[in-house]
């Protein structure tokens, strides 16, 4: 019978899943969720994320499952995106179509379900926005009280309003996201009544990896491009491909493209400069969702890049804005961070790393209305100018 364990990806130490401290006791690294005795890619009768229950959380009882039918998001193709990127077969999977408007819902449905299984009554996260919105929504839906550490004046008002509206207790932290994360870790050392919902929680990865399951069922991309901030998706996507390859579901491995903003690109430096350790940076970028200078998942993310022979690229804020305009005016729309995926595709095509005949799957991580802090200049027409 299939079941789950927690395992350290560095030293290999295994733990029972009833544990809620997700750092290894021996080496301090973030644990993985590992599914045991699963030898086939078997789907259930559930919809969306939980269609893959047997490779996410096979032992979870129905009474603990908290879901808002997240997943099964659409994939879009448009000539504007093809012409801009120089790649004909470029497709965008829109995670902004999830219930709270971002990919975070996929991880949150699994993490909150696990919080219910463990009997927690309070959740805690640090967030620049999307995590707080999803955490507050799913906690409220489950009847759990949520607390959110937000970096002072470093969060989209749209995302903050989501968390507030869902009833989260908002804690203002003086500093950036990395400061908020430090405060969260210190709080967890002193208290054991909070269930952590940041991506140090490996159950989040289990939900987010279903993005790849859906992509690989629909198409056979040569590359998969996505924004990279705290590196939860980078970790999740590689893990999904490893599992699918091991179960024989796929016979090849698409290359991952993790795209960071130039002003928040410590993982880019770590991989491309062949650094021994990741050096943190003071993050500055218009793309608030990936404005992270000290990503916690960099070790798992490196494993994903190595397994897929992947690429870590970085793009400027101007390149992000230009790509966002293309996506928006294709009638699709996305928040700024999402546009890094298309900006990265164009940059790699211009450098000749991606061929014009390659098939690319891009990930749009958040809805158009998620981040409206960018100054917008609108040219209004008069009635006389209508053609």
Q: What CATH number does domain 75-99+203-370 carry, 3.40.50.20, 3.30.565.10, 3.40.50.300, 3.40.50.1100?
A: 3.40.50.1100
The CA–CA distances, whole Å, from 112 to 269, 366, 371, 380 equal 34, 20, 25, 45
pLDDT tens-place string over residues 236-260? 999 999 999 999 999 999 999 999 9
Compute CA 247 distance to the chain's CA centroid, rounded to the nearest angstrom. Answer: 24
Q: How do residues 168-225 score in pLDDT, each as one tens digit? A: 999 888 888 888 888 888 888 889 999 999 989 999 999 999 999 999 999 999 999 9
Strand order in the sheet with 255-261: 75-76, 89-94, 359-364, 223-227, 255-261, 311-315
Nearest alpha carbon to residue 96 among 211, 260, 259:
211
| % of the chain surpassing 90 pLDDT | 79
pLDDT at 151: 83
Place of tokens 């490779």: 55
Q: Nearest to residue 255, comparing CAs of 166, 323, 366, 355? A: 355
Q: Write the CB contacts of 365 (distance below 8 Å, at least 6 apart in sequence).
A: 95, 96, 102, 103, 130, 226, 227, 233, 289, 334, 335, 337, 338, 341
Which residue, chain included where needed, has tokens 């839906």?
Answer: 141
Q: What pLDDT is recorded for position 377?
A: 58
Going from N- to C-terminal start, the domains of the chain cover: 75-99+203-370
């Amino acid at each position: 019978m299939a079941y789950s364990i927690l395992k350290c990806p560095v030293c290999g130490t295994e733990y029972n899943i009833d544990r809620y401290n997700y750092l290894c006791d021996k080496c301090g690294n973030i644990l993985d969720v590992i599914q045991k005795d699963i030898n086939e890619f078997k789907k259930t009768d559930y919809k969306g994320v939980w269609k893959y229950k047997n490779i996410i959380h096979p032992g979870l009882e129905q009474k603990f499952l908290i879901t808002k039918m997240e997943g099964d998001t659409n994939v879009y193709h448009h000539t504007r995106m093809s012409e801009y990127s120089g790649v004909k077969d470029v497709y965008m999977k829109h995670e902004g179509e999830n219930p709270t408007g971002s990919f975070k819902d996929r991880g949150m449905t699994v993490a909150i379900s696990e919080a219910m299984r463990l009997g927690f009554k309070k959740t805690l996260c640090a967030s620049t926005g999307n995590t707080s919105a999803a955490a507050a929504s799913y906690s409220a839906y489950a009847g759990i009280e949520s607390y959110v550490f937000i970096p002072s004046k470093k969060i989209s008002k749209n995302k903050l309003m989501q968390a507030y509206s869902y009833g989260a207790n908002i804690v203002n932290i003086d500093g950036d996201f990395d400061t908020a994360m430090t405060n969260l870790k210190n709080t967890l050392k002193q208290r054991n009544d909070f269930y952590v919902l940041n991506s140090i929680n490996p159950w989040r990865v289990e939900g987010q990896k279903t993005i790849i399951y859906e992509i690989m069922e629909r198409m056979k991309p040569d590359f998969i491009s996505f924004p990279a901030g705290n590196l939860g998706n980078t970790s999740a996507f590689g893990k999904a491909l490893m599992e699918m390859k091991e179960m024989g579901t796929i016979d090849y491995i698409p290359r991952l493209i993790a795209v960071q903003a130039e002003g928040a690109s410590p993982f880019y430096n770590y991989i491309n400069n062949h650094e021994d350790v990741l050096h943190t940076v003071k993050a500055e970028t218009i793309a608030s969702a990936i404005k992270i200078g000290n990503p916690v998942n960099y070790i798992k993310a490196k494993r994903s890049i190595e397994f897929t022979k992947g690429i870590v690229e970085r793009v400027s804020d101007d390149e992000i804005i230009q790509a966002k305009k293309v996506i928006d005016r294709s009638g699709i729309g996305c928040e700024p961070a999402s546009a890094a995926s298309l900006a990265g595709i164009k940059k790699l095509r211009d450098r000749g790393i991606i061929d014009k005949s390659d098939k690319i799957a891009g990930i749009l991580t958040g809805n158009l209305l998620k981040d409206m802090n960018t100054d917008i200049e609108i040219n209004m027409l008069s009635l006389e100018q209508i053609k």
